[in-house]
């Protein structure tokens, strides 16, 4: 192929944003010539590489946009360590069908048992399945909405949390929520109700949510909407953070049961 044609092809590819193809063009042409590939095989290879590069880039972009506290896929979760988790149920959730069905997932359990890890892992699966995901903590969500209310920007911020197809709200119950905050939280839950599914995690049982939200009536209204279509995972077990210490015999199991 003459250099002028190669340059023209490169320009077309840049214009069409086929960056991977442009980068690989010469190599792909040489490979195809040496193995006497058919026109259709050559075209298929170019397009397959381009689609694959674009998919990878898109997943990386949506993963960054999701604002996860850490990126740990489900494959790194040790189910053997946490027998109270139904692995089959989690694998079913990993198919992201719950998103299509508008179901919420609520993960309950004491600190360190993998609630955040599982919510991130399910969020990553959702991204792989093409959904937009946003991760936030209850404290950050409420602080953002409270600030927005004082700045007359509540509507804008509520949209921020309602547009992603999947919203993950981590750590409900770690900090007590003031009445105004509970009201804002309820507004968000109402907006997402029947529209977009959520994954929520909490170290408190549902019975304790009245205290978490400082108001039994609001807590009941929130739970009523959340639990209408929901799957609850109740994790009962030892903190994974203690795993190494337990192994080394530095702490006894009874100490971790409280
Ligand atoms: P929680 O949110 O329930 O307090 P995390 O999900 O933050 O707990 O887990 C604490 C740490 O232990 C994280 O680094 C997490 O990746 C790890 N971890 C927890 N459970 C498991 C597990 N079963 N397999 C692998 N890593 C785990
Ligand atoms: Mg956590």
Nearest CA to ligand 1 atom 7: 116
What is the pTM assigned to this prediction?
0.89
Q: Which of 108, 119, 111 is nearest to 69 (CA)?
A: 119
Topology of the domain covering 74-244: Rossmann fold (3.40.50)
Instruction: Give residues with Cβ within 8 angstroms of 98, minimum separation 6.
Output: 104, 105, 197, 231
Written as six digits, the tokens of 203 are 């170290």
Neighbours of ion ligand 2 (CB under 5 A): 116
Ligand 1 pocket, residue 173 CB under 6 Å: no
Nearest CA to ligand 1 atom 26: 77
Q: What is the pLDDT of residue 251?
A: 66
Task: State in Å: Cα 109 to ligand 1 middle.
Answer: 11
| b/e sequence 149-158, b meaning 16+ C-beta within 10 Å | beeeebeebb
* CA 229 remoteness from chain centre: 19
Domain boundaries, the chain: 3-61, 74-244
Segment 57-113, tens digit of pLDDT: 999 999 999 999 999 999 999 999 999 999 999 999 999 999 999 999 999 999 999
């Amino acid at each position: 192929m003459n250099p002028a044609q190669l340059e023209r092809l490169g320009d077309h590819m840049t214009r069409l944003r086929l960056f991977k193809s442009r980068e690989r063009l010469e190599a792909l042409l040489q490979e195809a010539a040496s193995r006497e590939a058919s026109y259709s095989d050559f075209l298929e290879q170019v397009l397959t590489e381009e689609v694959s590069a674009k998919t990878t880039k898109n997943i990386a972009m949506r993963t960054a946009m999701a604002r996860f506290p850490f990126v740990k896929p489900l494959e790194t979760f040790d189910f053997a360590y946490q027998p109270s988790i139904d692995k089959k149920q989690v694998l079913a959730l990993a198919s992201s069908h719950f998103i299509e069905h508008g179901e919420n997932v609520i993960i309950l359990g004491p600190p360190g048992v993998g609630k955040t890890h599982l919510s991130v892992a399910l969020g990553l699966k959702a991204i792989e399945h093409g959904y937009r995901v946003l991760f936030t903590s209850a404290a950050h969500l409420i602080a953002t909405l409270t600030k927005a209310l004082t700045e007359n920007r509540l509507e804008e911020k509520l949209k921020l949390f309602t547009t992603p197809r999947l919203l993950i709200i981590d750590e409900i119950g770690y900090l007590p929520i003031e009445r105004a905050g509970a009201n804002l939280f309820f507004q968000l839950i109402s907006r997402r109700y029947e529209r977009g599914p959520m994954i929520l995690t909490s170290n408190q049982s549902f019975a304790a949510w009245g205290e978490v939200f400082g108001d039994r009536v609001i807590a009941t209204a929130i739970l009523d909407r959340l639990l209408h279509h929901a799957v609850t995972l109740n994790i009962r077990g030892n903190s994974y953070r203690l795993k190494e210490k337990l192994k080394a015999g530095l702490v006894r199991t009874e100490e971790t049961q409280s």
